[in-house]
Chains A and B, each alone.
Chain A
Amino acid sequence: MILTETHMKYIDEYRDRDLIMKLAGQIRRSASGNYTFMEVCGGHTAAIRRFGIPSLLPENIRLISGPGCPVCVTGTDFIDKAIRYSERSDVIIATFGDLLRVPGSESSLEKMKALGADIRIFFSGLAALETARLNPEKKVIFLGIGFETTAPGTALTVIKAAQDNLSNFFVLSAHKIMPPAMEAILKNGTALDGFICPGHVSVITGSSIFIFIPEKYGTGCVITGFEPVDILQAILMLINQVNRNDPSVEIQYKRAVTTEGNSLAQGFMDDVFEKCDATWRGFGLIRSSGLALKGRYERYNAEYEMPVKTQHRSENELCICGDILRGLKTPDECPLFNNICTPENPAGACMVSNEGACNTWFKYRFA
């Protein structure tokens, strides 16, 4: 007797063991060749490991992680800048939790916090804005990080700050957009048979942003939810695309994603951000892949209002985070994995984030 047997809508039906086994069987029967699919989003990487998806797949299907963990692709320069700001006694750093432990070139925000810097964890920019209102004598710098999923939240926060004419709220933006990085992977020549496309990014953008991928590169895309049934169904859809030789953009995550996306959120982003060149860990500079505050909002741009200088330093030479983010290697191929580099003592960003490939490989080791 299980007394707590309950049903959680949108979760339990997508974790149904019978359905999972049925889909795994269909995949085995359909997979006639060898297939390599990349899950772009860090949320998918975590779900794939957490639910043990690889153990349900035949050996001829290979899943590789992509550049969709926002913490992982953020360069040490950004962390170094945030650390510089945190050293100022008139500054409160407002950050998402994941960023705290990411190593910069010499320290981390977690260490700076222990040494007395005022660094606070928030789940949304709007909460950080409230902190700015409550602390008029301080400058609150929100570390804007993430893809199209979190960028609208930052945009709305900046709009609200402008509406309220707040003069002590700033954004240090490392926001990025997904399609240019996916294109960089294909241009780099990583051999892929399809993308498991990010679900939450697509809720905002709609599926249309991926159309250029099958059209220009002949690689299929399936926009996917985050439960085991979602992921297995997406893999089956990608296999069928390959078998039919018909690469296209399909939506598996229909309960959340449309072709057009969330126009309100897109409007916020268009209002506040413009595209800029951005550096991605593992890739280097990717043209028009970042989001910077538009000129009319420059008073909320931390770098514009309070420029800081950092010195570029190279990362641990043995760390292969870059290759992992480009889908060239898996964490177990790294000489540092699980000896020098662990979640307690991460050498690279992929070991830090909850959604980093190395962190999830470490956390969800299979027995």
Chain B
Amino acid sequence: MIKKIVSLGHGSGGKQTRELIREVFAGNFGMSEPLTDSAILNIACERIAFTTDSYVVDPLFFPGGNIGKLAVCGTVNDLAVSGARPLYLSASFIIEEGFSLEDLEAVAVSMAEEAQKAGVKIVTGDTKVVEKGKCDGLFITTSGTGILPAGREYISTGIRIRPGDKLIINGPLGNHSIAVLGARNNLSFTTTVVSDCASLNNLIESLCDKCSEILFMRDLTRGGLAGVLNELVQITGTGILIDENRIPVDDPVRGACEMLGFDPLYLANEGKILIVAGSGTESEVLKILRSDPLGSISEVIGEIIPDARKRVIMNSVTGGKRIVDMPSGVQLPRIC
């Protein structure tokens, strides 16, 4: 059987385009007929959160997910960490001529599954087909909106953060990066690590619902924990002290990092967030996080400290103190 592939005709706007949209996307996403130019949304609230993100990943399928799941989780999480309840997503696809229709369908199905899990609807979208070599298989852009309940406005800016407040992460770092790296074939290593790619909005909602002292949240994607902590000190004008011994990292990730010369603090995650919780509320926050499978290995990793020089300082495993810098450039695997 000849493998069904996407051709330039699928992007022509004609019959094939309609078929592609209906059969691969609209059907899986539960979009209702007739398909119109705009989705009309009923949102009754004062404040709407709105975000967008583009997804490119090599390889498109990796242990624990694929580019489609990533595109839903990422945008859902961007909304959720702002304190918003995600409701609607858009999804745009740039597809390289020759891309397998079966793979495209698999991506769409996993987007639909993840959207259902997260309780969001994919209501609008677009497809473009580009000539062979003009994109790397498939690029996806998702945008999302959600309502921001009253009383959560300060979460995205962190303006209520004070020295003494506690830093919490919801599990081990680096799994996504290492899973994706292991799935590439040029680094000659295989790993059992699975991406942590997951929508965290339900976990975050129960947290915000039960705790009044959630002062800041940010997902630990590109740039990793080190990137977010360095942004945070710039926002708050304080310092941060973290304890290397308390930062959870799975053994296979540690092993891969030791081998490749990577630092887990700088690796990207797709299902991990940093939470700043008011001093004294950390055990309550941990209890809620740990009751959810997506937060079962949550840990308090440090706290906000007064420091006019706005540094991120880490107590290292050996007992010394060192500065955790802003990431710069991509981490490159070392020679030996």
Q: Which of B187, B318, B329, B334 lies in contact with A51, CB distance below 8 A?
A: B318
Beta-carbon nearest neighbor of B286 in chain A: A1
B254 within 8 A of A: yes
Chief secondary structure at chain B's binding surface: loop
Q: List B residues 223-261 near A (Cβ within 8 Å).
A: 245-246, 248-251, 254-255, 258, 260-261
Cβ-defined contact, B321 with A367, below 8 A: yes
B188 within 8 A of A: yes
Q: List B residues 293-329 near A (Cβ within 8 Å).
A: 296-297, 299, 311, 313, 316-323, 325, 328-329
B186 within 8 A of A: yes
B154 within 8 A of A: no
Stretch at the interface among A142-150, A188-196, A238-246: A142-150
Cβ-defined contact, B336 with A354, below 8 A: no
B172 within 8 A of A: yes
Chain A 276-301 interface 0/1 with B at a Cβ cutoff of 8 Å (1 = within):
00000000000000000000000000
B280 within 8 A of A: no
Cβ-defined contact, B335 with A145, below 8 A: yes
Q: A362–B198 Cα gap in the complex (Å)?
A: 35
With a cutoff of 8 Å between Cβ atoms, the chain B residues found around residue A51 in the complex are: 316-318, 320
B333 within 8 A of A: yes
Chain B interface size, under 10 / 10 to 19 / 20 to 34 / 35 or more: 35 or more
Cβ-defined contact, B254 with A11, below 8 A: yes
Q: Which of B296, B311, B334 lies in contact with A354, CB distance below 8 A?
A: B334
Stretch at the interface among A117-125, A214-222, A254-262: A117-125
Q: Which of B297, B317, B320, B336 lies in contact with A150, CB distance below 8 A?
A: B336
With a cutoff of 8 Å between Cβ atoms, the chain A residues found around residue B322 in the complex are: 50, 52, 364-367
Cβ-defined contact, B321 with A52, below 8 A: yes
Cβ-defined contact, A97 with B333, below 8 A: yes
Q: A2–B325 Cα gap in the complex (Å)?
A: 25
With a cutoff of 8 Å between Cβ atoms, the chain B residues found around residue A355 in the complex are: 261, 334-335
With a cutoff of 8 Å between Cβ atoms, the chain B residues found around residue A146 in the complex are: 335-336
- Output the residue of B311, B316, B320 with the most chain A CB within 10 A: B320
Cβ-defined contact, A121 with B299, below 8 A: no
Q: Which of B187, B248, B329, B335 lies in contact with A70, CB distance below 8 A?
A: B335
B219 CB to nearest A CB, Å: 20
With a cutoff of 8 Å between Cβ atoms, the chain B residues found around residue A122 in the complex are: 186-188
Q: Which of B188, B246, B316, B328 lies in contact with A126, CB distance below 8 A?
A: B188
A79 CB to nearest B CB, Å: 14
Cβ-defined contact, A98 with B332, below 8 A: yes
Cβ-defined contact, A20 with B318, below 8 A: yes
Q: Which of A8, A15, A150, A362 lies in contact with B255, CB distance below 8 A?
A: A8
A100 within 8 A of B: yes
With a cutoff of 8 Å between Cβ atoms, the chain B residues found around residue A96 in the complex are: 333-335
Cβ-defined contact, B320 with A56, below 8 A: yes
With a cutoff of 8 Å between Cβ atoms, the chain B residues found around residue A101 in the complex are: 329, 332
Cβ-defined contact, A52 with B335, below 8 A: no
A60 within 8 A of B: no
Q: A68–B317 Cα gap in the complex (Å)?
A: 26
Q: Which of A6, A52, A367 lies in contact with B318, CB distance below 8 A?
A: A52
Q: A52-B318, A365-B323 are in contact. Are A343 and B329 (CB under 8 A)?
A: yes
A125 CB to nearest B CB, Å: 10
With a cutoff of 8 Å between Cβ atoms, the chain B residues found around residue A150 in the complex are: 335-336
Beta-carbon nearest neighbor of A126 in chain B: B188
With a cutoff of 8 Å between Cβ atoms, the chain A residues found around residue B321 in the complex are: 52, 55, 366-367
Chain B 177-221 interface 0/1 with A at a Cβ cutoff of 8 Å (1 = within):
000000001111100000000000000000000000000000000
Beta-carbon nearest neighbor of B185 in chain A: A127
A322 within 8 A of B: no
With a cutoff of 8 Å between Cβ atoms, the chain A residues found around residue B319 in the complex are: 17, 20-21, 52, 56
Beta-carbon nearest neighbor of B258 in chain A: A11
Beta-carbon nearest neighbor of B241 in chain A: A367
Beta-carbon nearest neighbor of A232 in chain B: B318
- Output the residue of B249, B254, B296, B334 with the most chain A CB within 10 A: B334
Cβ-defined contact, A344 with B336, below 8 A: no
A340 within 8 A of B: no
Q: A155–B74 Cα gap in the complex (Å)?
A: 44
Q: A52-B318, A97-B333, A100-B332 are in contact. Are A127 and B325 (CB under 8 A)?
A: no
Q: Which of A43, A127, A362 lies in contact with B187, CB distance below 8 A?
A: A127
Q: List A residues 178-237 near B (Cβ within 8 Å).
A: 200, 228
A315 CB to nearest B CB, Å: 21
A37 CB to nearest B CB, Å: 18
Q: A363–B334 Cα gap in the complex (Å)?
A: 15
Q: A63–B323 Cα gap in the complex (Å)?
A: 20
Q: Which of B246, B296, B313, B329 lies in contact with A367, CB distance below 8 A?
A: B313
A71 within 8 A of B: yes
With a cutoff of 8 Å between Cβ atoms, the chain A residues found around residue B296 in the complex are: 3
A339 within 8 A of B: no
With a cutoff of 8 Å between Cβ atoms, the chain A residues found around residue B251 in the complex are: 6, 8
B193 CB to nearest A CB, Å: 14
Q: List B residues 5-29 near A (Cβ within 8 Å).
A: none
Cβ-defined contact, B188 with A123, below 8 A: yes
Q: List A residues 2-22 near B (Cβ within 8 Å).
A: 2-4, 6, 8, 11, 15, 17, 20-21
- Using CB atoms and an 8 Å cutoff, list the residues of chain B in contact with chain A: 172, 185-189, 245-246, 248-251, 254-255, 258, 260-261, 290, 296-297, 299, 311, 313, 316-323, 325, 328-329, 332-336
- Using CB atoms and an 8 Å cutoff, list the residues of chain A in contact with chain B: 2-4, 6, 8, 11, 15, 17, 20-21, 43, 46, 50-53, 55-56, 70-71, 96-101, 120-124, 126-127, 131, 145-147, 149-150, 200, 228, 342-344, 353-355, 362-367
Q: Which 10 A/B pairs are nearest by Cβ-Cβ distance? A: A52-B320, A97-B332, A4-B248, A97-B333, A367-B313, A367-B321, A96-B335, A149-B336, A123-B187, A55-B320
7 A–B contacts from the bound complex (CB under 8 Å): A3-B296, A8-B251, A17-B318, A96-B334, A121-B186, A344-B328, A367-B322
